[in-house]
Amino acid sequence: MSDSPRNAPWQPAEIVRIEPRTPRISSFFLRSALPRPLAGQHLDVRLTAPDGYQAQRSYSIASAPGAELAELLIEKLDDGEVSPYFHEVAQAGDTIEVRGPIGGHFVWRAADGGPLLLIAGGSGIAPLLAIVRERAATAPEVPALLVYSARTWDDLAWRDELFGAGADTGAFTAIALTTRGASPRPQDPARRLDGALLADLLARWGHPPRHVYACGSNVFVEAATSALVAQGLEPASIRTERYGGAG
Ligand SMILES: Cc1cc2nc3c(=O)[nH]c(=O)nc-3n(C[C@H](O)[C@H](O)[C@H](O)COP(=O)(O)OP(=O)(O)OC[C@H]3O[C@@H](n4cnc5c(N)ncnc54)[C@H](O)[C@@H]3O)c2cc1C
């Protein structure tokens, strides 16, 4: 594990396959020789153009720590530089550069226990998916509530894994928040995350969260954390990962 990405060496990674998840998010499965990550960590990715121009961005690792291939969930931003490259140019068999795994704060291990409150906005689901997968594999008895917000039901990635028949194992509960149009599930609120909604979801869940992980755009994470602190949650129990942007 490294917290100082500038010291970590770049390594080649092969894009083994690409799978669309939503109209704007695809999974990119990478094979590399990077060390095994912890759930919640990210990679730095570097692209080099034929003229030598380089661009690098960070992407959370969505796969479970023990997975053979590292899965990145990349959302296409139309006015972006790197994410459109992944969606429009990158192909299976291509080699890119990666370094990591990076991040020592936004991680969860079975020994950390729970109850766990996981709050994701858009592509911010990526590191929380790794935590959901790690919890299912190593500590399925730990109560976890995932609150996953996206514009529409179709914009939620990995819907079957998170909301499908096999997903609710008793200790794991997933709630979808859709801000433009309702989800087909009656328990999912069709509205934006705010303090009143969080208070209602937490009361229904019935477990005071010991660890909170919130990930998404700056504005989304800010809204989630200020609502949680207003509910009386200890700020030290809240870990955040901010992806940038305002959406
Ligand atoms: C630790 C970390 C982990 C990350 N993990 C992921 C991940 O798993 N999946 C993923 O898709 N992205 C992730 N990101 C964001 C990613 O690093 C890039 O910022 C993102 O892909 C945009 O890059 P770009 O080159 O396409 O856009 P840029 O050319 O960098 O930006 C284009 C425009 O989009 C705005 N913008 C940048 N980010 C966002 C955003 N998140 N939402 C809305 N607008 C934005 C910029 O302000 C700018 O106006 C992560 C960021 C961090 C710091």
What digits encode the pLDDT tens for the residues 26-67?
999 999 999 999 999 999 999 998 899 999 999 999 999 999
For residue 243, give the ligand 1 atom closest to its CA: 51
> How much is the pLDDT for 78?
94
For ligand 1, atom 4, the nearest C-alpha belongs to: 59
Tokens, residue 113: 């226990």
pLDDT digits (tens, 9 = 90+) for 87-117: 999 999 999 999 999 999 999 999 999 999 9
The beta-strand segments (E) located in 61-207 are 70-75, 95-102, 116-121, 144-150, 172-178
Using CA atoms, how far residue 196 sits from 16, 192, 193, 201, 217, in Å, is 44, 10, 8, 9, 21
> How much is the pLDDT for 2?
44
What would the mean pLDDT of 190-207 be, rounded to a whole number?
94
pLDDT digits (tens, 9 = 90+) for 116-146: 999 999 999 999 999 999 999 999 999 999 9
Residue 3 CB less than 6 A away from ligand 1: no
- Inform me whether the pLDDT recorded for 148 exceeds 70: yes
Distance 10 CA to ligand 1 centre (A): 20
- Inform me whether the pLDDT recorded for 247 exceeds 80: no
Average pLDDT, the chain: 94
Distance 83 CA to ligand 1 centre (A): 8
* Rounded percentage of the chain residues whose pLDDT exceeds 70: 96
Give the Cα separation of 142 and 123 in Å (integer). 24
* Mutational test site, ligand 1, from 2, 22, 59, 218, max ligand atoms within 8 Å of CB: 59
For residue 82, give the ligand 1 atom closest to its CA: 25
> How much is the pLDDT for 119?
98
CA triplet 225, 217, 61: central angle to 5 degrees? 100
> How much is the pLDDT for 6?
61
Burial of 179 by CB count in 10 Å (0-12 exposed, 13-18 middle, 19+ buried)? middle
Give the Cα separation of 63 and 41 in Å (integer). 10
Class of the CATH domain delimited by 110-242: alpha beta
Task: Categorize the per-residue pLDDT at 165 as very low, low, confident or very high, splitting at 50, 70 and 90.
Answer: confident
Distance 216 CA to ligand 1 centre (A): 10
Residue 126 CB less than 6 A away from ligand 1: yes
Class of the CATH domain delimited by 5-102: mainly beta
Distance 61 CA to ligand 1 centre (A): 14
| Residue spans per domain, the chain | 5-102, 110-242
